[in-house]
């Protein structure tokens, strides 16, 4: 008989809850491998913590989302939202699949160019574009989505000195019946600001109005809102056609489709509550198809989805540093990854799985990160089996926003590993070194340490 | 003015070369020279040509026919005959002028009437008018024309026997048959001169290897046949041998038909018939003292051609529908068009859905596509794991294709709609209403398409509606004989639901293999193919959207300027016309690709280079989409080899010219890269490299490297 592993004795508070036919089991399964690569080997090879991305899953997500739209609408284009995850390797996967680039800053713009995206396939969004950045975008024939009148005026002035006629769209905000209404970006539809901007662009004759853009929110749980948004853009496009005699080439519906992560405060898990990409595709495409465009005049439909395409392809592997019992008797486990690298733990109740076999007993516990800061809480309450120091865990669905919003704070940022479709691992970002973080620093002479 | 004179000289020369169904200048000039072997006849012939051309020009008859010498070659024959038959005197000139006018009138009437039903007039006007002249001179009234007394006339009148006349020194040295061959050739110009025949033979060889080959074959077979039957114990008259037998073999074997084994055979089979015609007509006409000239040739050609035209199914013996006045060109263009002109053969049908679907059951599939209902396609959507549904797949809604839009595959009229059949639960079938919810569309008489198993109450069209290609018909469902959601698509000749199927290709579609798309054209997709309608790059499409009225000015690197304009001809075909060089390039743009079909004119024109560079362009920017094509063989630069190829071309081709192009995205624009390879007996060499630049939805420039020489040109001003 195999020798059983030693289990530390513990005392557990008895909860007299509702009877449950499954007993005390939680259904937690150990996750020992990702895409066929063992978690243990990954940590041995690349250190702990480490971010792992699955190329297979990314491609699968892209293809199924693209299929959802392209089998419902004749002209569909995806643009990869750089801010969601702009590791070049990740961007290249999306570009290989056919995505354009959607960027919101000059540096992201340069990144897209560096990734070999042709200028006319870069969408330049955001409220903060500088004059120089606009100039470069115009030179490259990029699609500039105007956010406010200052930008519009600046483009009109710029267009006098540039060879290319800027190709522009305006971002439109509107009431889609969803709170909070994002009215801080773009021009408002209801108070006619958007129409004023469109008239100004077309009558100026200096800008080439090619599209209309909206982005009604993020992690949207209502498909109806997209129906309203699509209808609004169609209405503006049709008015442009009839009143300004100007044909709109594309409608950019933005992104904002939710991943299956569970939002904090949600009663049911995300996987059970969020609409699928198919649901969004159905309402958007049917609105467009039924609006009354002539078949050959149907505008190109652009989508800038980020989160839904990558969130579940990302994993964070970590190691237990220590266990504690808090004063109130609650168990606490300290991990070697903190909120500085797992930014989304502020929004989501991330699913965490042990990476090795465990005993069937589990306990509600709090998961802390390694930072010497009170805010460093990964999960405030989670039922997990008892973990020992040195055990590995896998945090799920961390592909979106973490690898862009992470901070170098107290600890250094870890490596990122990509598992390709042939189950080979590739280091796509090395872990940070002290030298890297100190490199930009300049020491005034009088503060230099004396030898 | 200078141009006018050049054109006039050209039509004079063409009047000569067209005697041998050619527009070859060298042959024309040789014939012109040879006709002067008999100076009087030559002069009279030339005078008649000039006179008739002037008349036709003055009266503004069709420029094309004028240019090709159609109206004047009968006058030429008349002039030569006049010069050969009559002695020159004052009255000779007068009668010649009037006879010539009569021929012109006859030629124009004949060419009009016969042309309407697609038949040539050949030398009928000449024969008719000259008979009248002969009858008039034979009459009791005095015309003042004095017939020559020569062996030639004897020969023509008697129609057989002795080869008499001036025996050249050559005649004694050459074998009898060879001498006879050349003599026979010279008979077309009413001569019996070996040197003349030799010169004509050289001209003909330059004009066409196939024609020359057929002349020899006709000659040999006729001599052999005569030897065998002994119809003419003293040998066939060289006049009839040349004018009737050999010319018939050439015309039937290579001019009116596309040269092939069958056309050669037909040309040979005509020979005995020509024998019958010669004998019959000669006997009949001798009563009136009239020579029959080339009447047997005219009769057999016109009647056989008409007979061939009446066939319902041309099969492998094809008539030359577009006449290039060169058997080689006819053949190469025909072979080239056979593979390329599917756009003119089939209606352009698209796939009835959006995005990529998979053929789950193809033609004559194992499940339900059997027998007369075998030519149908079933489509489903599959994911990367080849599943058609999402877990758990127990409801139609779990299937990817369910609820997806179904489109009209082509323009047409909705014939029938069924929209009330319930969708089945998964695994159940409804045999009572086998086809479920269905739409039948009439695209043309005898061409209907049907989509079946649609979702209940999802159909947006009703019977009598007119739909355009790509219009939404309804949604994919699970009604009728459908255990799981799929789309059934078939073409049929009758408008009924339940009609039997017919095989019909889809115009263009992308088929995806290993995540790479390739463009298939006019194919029937096989089971398991992952396919979608082609993804079109609008910028390239707009750039190549050359409608009538499009004008462009091209400026080459060395400062040459050419003005182009797009026109539409009487048959509705579009062509680019270079105003400066007169060159013409026909093209087709079907919304998925642009390709040239033929080029006529100066090979130094910028239009010719553009023709080579943009021979075929697919409107797609995907790198994996490569356009492959073949150019007609006459464009090869290897002339000596081509002559060899010409000789055997009707039976076997060992030279191929391949063309390849694809679009490459640049930073802000797009270039089309093209390459041309020559393949000789399997050995491939690149001969041309070209690029065409597209920017801002229009053509910007092109560059081509041909035999190491680089030519660059850019578009100047343009309007569309």
Residue B584 corresponds to which tokens in the numbers above? 């013409």
pLDDT value of residue A395: 97
Q: Is B665's Cβ below 8 Å from some Cβ in A?
A: yes
The gap between the terminal CA atoms of chain A, to the nearest Å, is 65
Number of Cβ pairs < 8 A linking chain A and chain B: 49
Contacts of B357 in chain A (CB under 8 A): 71
Strand A314-325 and strand A143-146: pairing?
unpaired
Phi and psi for B611 in degrees, rounded to 5? Answer: -55, -45
Q: Give me B542's structure tokens.
A: 């707009």
The answer to whether B514 contacts chain A (CB < 8 Å) is no
Name chain A contacts of B470, Cβ cutoff 8 Å: 74, 295
Report pLDDT for A447: 93
Instruction: Give the three-state DSSP class for A171.
Output: strand
What are the chain B neighbours of A282 within 8 Å (beta carbons)?
403
Quick one: average pLDDT of B597-617? 91
How far apart, in whole angstroms, are the C-alpha atoms of residue B75 and residue B12? 11
Residue carrying structure tokens 């937690």: A28
Query: Quick one: which of A149, A121, A148, A119 has its CA closest to A136?
Result: A119
Give the 3-state secondary structure of residue A273: helix
Token pair for B667? 């930073």
CB atoms within 10 A of CB B707: 7
Whether B468 and chain A come into contact, CB under 8 Å, resolves to yes
Pick from B11, B36, B35, B6: nearest CA to B23 = B11
H-type helices in B117-260, by residue range?
124-138, 151-158, 169-173, 176-186, 194-207, 209-229, 238-240, 247-250
Nearest to B609 by CA among B716, B512, B692: B692
Q: Output the CA angle A310-A314-A316, nearest 5 degrees.
A: 155
Q: What is the CA radius of gyration of chain B?
A: 32
- Which residue in chain A has the smallest CA separation from B532? A71
- Cβ distance of A72 and B401 shorter than 8 Å: no
Residue A27 phi/psi, 5-degree rounding, is 80, 10
Q: Does B353 touch chain A (CB under 8 A)?
A: yes
- The maximal CA–CA distance of chain A, rounded, in angstroms, is 85
One-character DSSP codes across B72-92: THHHHHHHHHHHHHB---HHH
A33-52+313-430: CATH topology? Lyase, Ornithine Decarboxylase; Chain A, domain 1 (2.40.37)
pLDDT-based confidence at residue B159 (cuts at 50, 70, 90): very low
**B356–A71 C-beta distance less than 8 A:** yes
pLDDT, position A343: 94
Hey, what CATH class is B1-148 in?
mainly alpha
For an interface test with A, give the residue of B350, B358, B397, B405 to mutate (most A CBs within 10 A): B405
User: At B64, is the pLDDT very low, low, confident or very high (cuts 50, 70, 90)?
Assistant: confident
Residue B246 structure tokens: 């050999």
Q: Say yes or no to pLDDT of B163 above 60.
A: no
**Is A118 touching B (CB cutoff 8 A)?**
yes
Asked casually if ipTM beats, i.e. exceeds, 0.90, the reply is no
Indicate yes or no: CB of A118 within 8 angstroms of CB of B400: no
Give me the residue from B383, B470, B668 closest to A120, CB to CB. B668
Average pLDDT of chain B to the nearest whole number: 88
Residue B681's region, left for phi above 0, alpha for psi from -120 to 50, else beta, is left
Gap between the Cα atoms of B386 and B384, Å rounded: 5
For residue B120, count CB atoms less than 10 angstroms from its CB and return exposed for 0-12, middle for 13-18, buried for 19 or more: buried
Question: CA B117, B118, B119 angle in degrees (round to 5)?
Answer: 100
A72/B355 Cβ within 8 A: yes
CA atoms of B602 and B151, how far apart (whole Å): 46
State yes or no: pLDDT of B368 exceeds 60.
Answer: yes
- Residue A125 is predicted with a pLDDT of 96
Q: According to the 3-state scheme, what is the secondary structure of B617-652?
A: EECCCCCCCCEEEEECHHHCCCHHHHHHHHHHCCCC
Per-residue pLDDT of chain A (451 residues; tens, 9 = 90+): 788 877 777 777 676 666 667 666 667 889 999 999 999 999 999 999 999 999 999 999 999 999 999 999 999 999 999 999 999 999 999 999 999 999 999 999 999 999 999 998 999 999 999 999 999 999 999 999 999 999 999 999 999 888 889 999 999 999 998 888 888 999 999 999 999 999 999 999 999 999 999 999 888 888 999 999 999 999 999 999 999 999 999 999 999 899 989 998 888 888 888 999 999 999 999 999 999 888 878 999 999 999 999 999 999 999 999 999 999 888 999 999 999 999 999 999 999 999 998 887 788 899 999 999 999 999 999 989 889 999 999 999 999 999 999 999 999 999 999 999 999 999 999 999 999 999 999 999 999 988 7
The single-letter DSSP state of residue A432 is P
Q: Which residues contact B296 (CB under 8 A, 6 or more apart)?
A: B240, B244, B248, B274, B277, B278, B281
Per residue, what are the HEC states of B292-317? CCCHHHHHHHHHHHHHHHCCCCCCCC
CB proximity B536 to A under 8 Å: no
Interface contact B149, partner A, CB < 8 A:
no
Domain spans of chain A, in order of start: 33-52+313-430, 55-311
Nearest CA in chain A to B384: A60
Q: Does B471 touch chain A (CB under 8 A)?
A: yes
Rounded to 5°, the CA angle A271-A175-B405 comes to 60
Helix, strand, or coil here: B515? Answer: coil
Contact A216, A239 (CB under 8 A): no
A166 in contact with B, Cβ within 8 Å:
no
More confident: B645 or B151: B645
Structure tokens given for B320: 């030359």
Per the CB < 8 Å rule, is A289 touching B383? no
Tell me what pLDDT residue B249 has.
Answer: 94
pLDDT of residue B169: 54
Q: What's residue B668's pLDDT?
A: 66
C-alpha span between A294 and B309 (Å, rounded)? 45
Say which of B357, B400, B471 has its CB closest to residue A295: B471
Separation between Cα atoms, residue A437 and residue B348, nearest integer Å:
62
Residues of chain A contacting B381 with CB distance shorter than 8 Å? 67, 71
Q: Given an 8 Å threshold on Cβ–Cβ distance, is A120 in contact with B356?
A: no
Torsion angle of C-alpha atoms B651, B652, B657, B661, degrees rounded to 10: 90
Confidence at residue B170, expressed as pLDDT on a 0 to 100 scale: 58
Residue B501 has a pLDDT of: 93
- Fold annotation for A55-311: TIM Barrel (3.20.20)
Give the model's pLDDT for residue B86.
86
Q: Do B354 and A140 touch (CB under 8 A)?
A: no
The span from the CA of A63 to the CA of A99, in Å, is 11
> How far B375 CA sits from the closest chain A CA (Å)?
24
Q: What is the DSSP string of A6-53?
A: P------PPP-----TTTT--------EETTEEHHHHHHHH-SSEEEE
Burial class (CB in 10 A: 0-12, 13-18, 19+), B191: buried
Interface test with A, best of B668, B670, B695, B697 (most A CBs within 10 A): B668
Q: Where are the domains of chain B?
A: 1-148, 174-230+237-332, 357-532, 538-719
Residues B354, A70: C-beta atoms closer than 8 Å: yes
CB of A78 closer than 8 Å to CB of A99: yes
Same fold for the domain at B1-148 and the one at B357-532?
no
The predicted pLDDT at position A449 comes to 87
For residue A62, the chain B residues in CB contact (below 8 A) are none
Cβ-defined contact of A64 to B354 (cutoff 8 Å): no
Contact B384 A73 (CB under 8 A): no
Q: Is B591 on the interface with A (CB under 8 A)?
A: no
CA distance B355 to chain A (A): 4
The number of CA neighbours under 13 Å toward the Cβ of A236 is 34
CB < 8 Å to A73, chain B: 354
Decide if B384 and A60 are in contact by the 8 Å CB cutoff.
yes
Sort out which chain A residues have CB atoms less than 8 A from B533's CB and list them. 74
Among residues A76, A427, A395, A426, the alpha carbon closest in space to that of A252 is found at A76
User: Would an 8 Å CB–CB cutoff place A96 in contact with chain B?
Assistant: no
Is B174-230+237-332 CATH 1.20.120.140? no
- Minimum Cα–Cα distance from B406: chain A residue: A72
Strands (E), A312-407: 314-325, 331-335, 352-354, 362-368, 377-385, 392-395
- Check if A94 contacts B (Cβ < 8 Å): no
Residues in chain B closer than 8 A to A116 (CB atoms): none
pLDDT-based confidence at residue B164 (cuts at 50, 70, 90):
very low
Task: pLDDT band for B179, please (50, 70, 90 cuts).
Answer: confident
Please determine, for residue B250, whether its predicted confidence score (pLDDT) is greater than 80.
yes
Q: Please check whether the domain covering B357-532 is classified as CATH 2.70.70.10.
A: yes
CA dihedral (B321, B324, B326, B330) positive or negative:
negative
Contact at CB, A72 and B384, closer than 8 angstroms: no
Suggest the residue from B471, B667, B670 to mutate for an interface test with chain A (most A CBs closer than 10 A).
B667
Q: What is the mean pLDDT of residues B258-280?
A: 93
Residue B539's pLDDT band (cuts 50, 70, 90): confident
pLDDT tens for B649-699 read: 888 888 889 999 988 877 667 889 999 998 888 888 888 999 999 887 889
Query: Cα A434 vs. chain centroid, distance in angstroms?
Result: 28
């Amino acid at each position: 008989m195999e020798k059983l592993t030693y289990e530390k004795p513990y005392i557990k508070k008895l909860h007299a809850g509702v009877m449950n036919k499954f007993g005390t089991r939680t259904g937690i399964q150990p996750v020992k491998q990702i895409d066929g690569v063992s978690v243990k080997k990954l940590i041995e090879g690349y250190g702990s913590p480490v971010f792992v991305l699955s190329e297979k899953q990314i491609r699968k997500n892209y293809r199924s989302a693209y299929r959802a739209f392209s089998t419902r609408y004749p002209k569909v284009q995806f643009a990869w939202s750089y801010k969601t995850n702009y590791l070049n390797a990740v961007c290249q996967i999306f570009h290989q699949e056919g995505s354009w680039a959607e960027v919101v800053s000059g540096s992201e713009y340069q990144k897209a160019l560096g990734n070999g995206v042709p200028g006319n396939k870069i969408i330049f969004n955001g409220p903060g574009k500088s004059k120089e950045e606009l100039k470069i975008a115009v030179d490259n024939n990029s699609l500039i989505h105007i956010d406010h009148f200052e930008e519009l005026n600046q483009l009109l002035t710029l267009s006098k000195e540039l060879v290319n006629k800027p190709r522009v769209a305006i971002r439109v905000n509107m009431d889609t019946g969803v709170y909070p209404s994002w009215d801080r970006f773009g021009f408002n539809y209801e108070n006619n600001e958007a129409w004023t901007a469109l008239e100004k662009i077309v009558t100026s004759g200096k800008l080439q109005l090619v599209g209309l853009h909206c982005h009604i929110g993020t992690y949207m749980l209502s498909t109806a809102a997209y129906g309203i948004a699509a209808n609004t853009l169609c209405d503006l496009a049709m008015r442009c056609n009839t009143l300004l005699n100007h044909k709109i080439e594309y409608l950019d519906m933005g992104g904002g489709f939710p991943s299956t992560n569970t939002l904090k405060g949600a009663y049911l898990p995300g996987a059970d509550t969020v609409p699928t990409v198919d649901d969004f595709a159905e309402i958007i495409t049917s609105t467009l198809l039924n609006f009354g465009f002539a078949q050959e005049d149907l505008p190109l439909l652009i989508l800038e989805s980020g989160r839904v395409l990558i969130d579940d392809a990302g994993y964070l592997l970590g190691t237990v540093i220590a266990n504690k019992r808090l004063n109130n008797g609650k168990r606490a486990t300290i991990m070697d990854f903190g909120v500085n690298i797992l930014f989304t733990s502020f929004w989501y109740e991330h699913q965490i799985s042990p990476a090795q076999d465990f005993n069937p007993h589990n306990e509600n516990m709090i998961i802390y990160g390694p930072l010497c800061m009170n805010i460093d809480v990964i999960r405030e309450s989670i039922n997990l089996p008892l973990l020992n120091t040195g055990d590995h865990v896998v945090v799920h669905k961390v592909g979106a926003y973490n690898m862009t919003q992470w901070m170098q704070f107290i600890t250094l940022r870890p490596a990122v590993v990509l598992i390709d479709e042939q189950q080979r691992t590739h280091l796509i970002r090395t872990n940070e070194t002290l030298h890297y973080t100190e490199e930009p620093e300049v020491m005034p002479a009088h503060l230099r340490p004396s030898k | 003015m200078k141009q006018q004179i050049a054109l006039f000289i050209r039509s004079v020369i063409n009047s000569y070369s067209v005697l041998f169904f050619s527009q070859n200048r060298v042959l024309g000039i040789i014939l012109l020279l040879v006709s002067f072997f008999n100076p009087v006849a030559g002069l009279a012939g030339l005078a008649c040509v000039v006179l008739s051309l002037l008349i036709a020009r003055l009266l503004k008859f069709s420029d094309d026919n004028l240019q090709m010498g159609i109206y004047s070659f009968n006058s030429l024959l008349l002039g030569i005959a006049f010069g050969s038959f009559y002695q020159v005197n004052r009255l000779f000139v007068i009668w010649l002028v009037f006879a010539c006018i009569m021929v012109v009138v006859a030629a124009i009437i004949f060419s009009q009437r016969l042309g309407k039903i697609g038949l040539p007039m050949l030398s009928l006007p000449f024969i008719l008018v000259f008979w009248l002249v002969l009858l008039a001179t034979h009459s009791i009234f005095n015309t003042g024309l004095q017939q020559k007394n020569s062996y030639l006339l004897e020969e023509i009148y008697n129609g057989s026997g002795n080869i008499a006349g001036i025996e050249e020194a050559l005649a004694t040295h050459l074998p009898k048959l060879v001498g006879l061959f050349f003599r026979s050739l010279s008979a077309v110009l009413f001569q019996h001169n070996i040197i003349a025949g030799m010169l004509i033979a050289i001209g003909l060889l330059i004009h066409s290897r196939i024609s020359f080959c057929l002349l020899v074959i006709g000659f040999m077979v006729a001599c052999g046949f005569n030897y065998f039957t002994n119809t003419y114990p003293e040998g066939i008259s060289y006049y009839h041998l040349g004018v009737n037998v050999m010319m018939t073999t050439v015309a039937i074997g290579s001019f009116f038909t596309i040269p092939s084994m069958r056309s050669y055979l037909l040309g040979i089979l005509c020979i005995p018939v020509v024998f019958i015609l010669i004998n019959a007509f000669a006997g009949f006409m001798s009563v009136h003292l009239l020579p029959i000239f080339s009447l047997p040739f005219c009769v057999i050609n016109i009647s056989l051609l008409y007979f061939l035209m009446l066939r319902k199914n041309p099969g492998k013996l094809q008539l030359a529908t577009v006449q290039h006045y060169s058997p080689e060109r006819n053949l190469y263009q025909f072979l080239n068009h056979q593979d390329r002109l599917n756009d003119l053969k089939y209606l352009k049908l698209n796939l009835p859905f959006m995005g990529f679907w998979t053929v789950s059951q193809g033609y004559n599939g194992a499940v339900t596509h059997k027998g007369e209902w075998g030519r149908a396609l079933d489509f489903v959507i599959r994911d990367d794991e080849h599943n058609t549904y999402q877990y758990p797949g127990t409801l139609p809604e779990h299937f990817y294709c369910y609820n997806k839009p179904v489109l009209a595959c082509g323009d047409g009229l909705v014939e029938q709609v069924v929209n009330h059949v319930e969708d089945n639960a998964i695994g159940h079938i409804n045999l009572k209403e086998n086809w479920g919810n269905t739409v039948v569309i009439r695209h043309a008489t005898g061409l209907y398409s049907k989509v079946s198993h649609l979702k209940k109450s999802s159909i947006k069209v009703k019977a009598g509606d007119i739909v355009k290609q790509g219009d939404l018909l309804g949604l994919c469902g699970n009604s009728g004989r459908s255990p799981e959601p799929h789309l059934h698509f078939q073409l049929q000749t009758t408008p009924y639901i339940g009609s039997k199927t017919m095989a019909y290709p889809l115009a263009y579609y992308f088929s995806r293999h290993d995540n790479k798309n390739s463009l298939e054209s006019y194919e029937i997709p096989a089971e398991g193919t992952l396919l979608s309608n082609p993804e079109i790059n609008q910028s390239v499409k707009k750039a190549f959207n050359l409608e009538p009225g499009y004008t462009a000015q091209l400026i080459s690197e060395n400062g040459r300027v050419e003005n182009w304009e797009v026109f539409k001809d009487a048959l509705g075909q579009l062509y680019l016309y270079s105003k400066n060089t007169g060159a013409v390039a026909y093209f087709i743009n079907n919304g998925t690709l642009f390709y040239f079909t033929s080029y006529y004119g100066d090979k130094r024109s910028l239009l010719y280079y553009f023709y080579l560079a943009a021979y075929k362009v697919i409107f797609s920017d995907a790198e994996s989409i490569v356009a492959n094509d073949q150019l007609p063989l006459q464009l090869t630069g290897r002339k000596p080899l081509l002559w060899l190829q010409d000789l055997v071309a009707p039976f076997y081709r060992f030279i191929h010219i391949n063309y390849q192009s694809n679009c490459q995205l640049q930073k802000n624009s797009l270039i089309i890269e093209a390459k041309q390879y020559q393949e000789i007996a399997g050995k491939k060499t690149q001969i041309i490299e070209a690029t065409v630049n597209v920017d801002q939805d229009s053509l910007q420039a092109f560059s081509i490297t041909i035999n190491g020489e680089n030519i660059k040109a850019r578009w100047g001003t343009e309007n569309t």
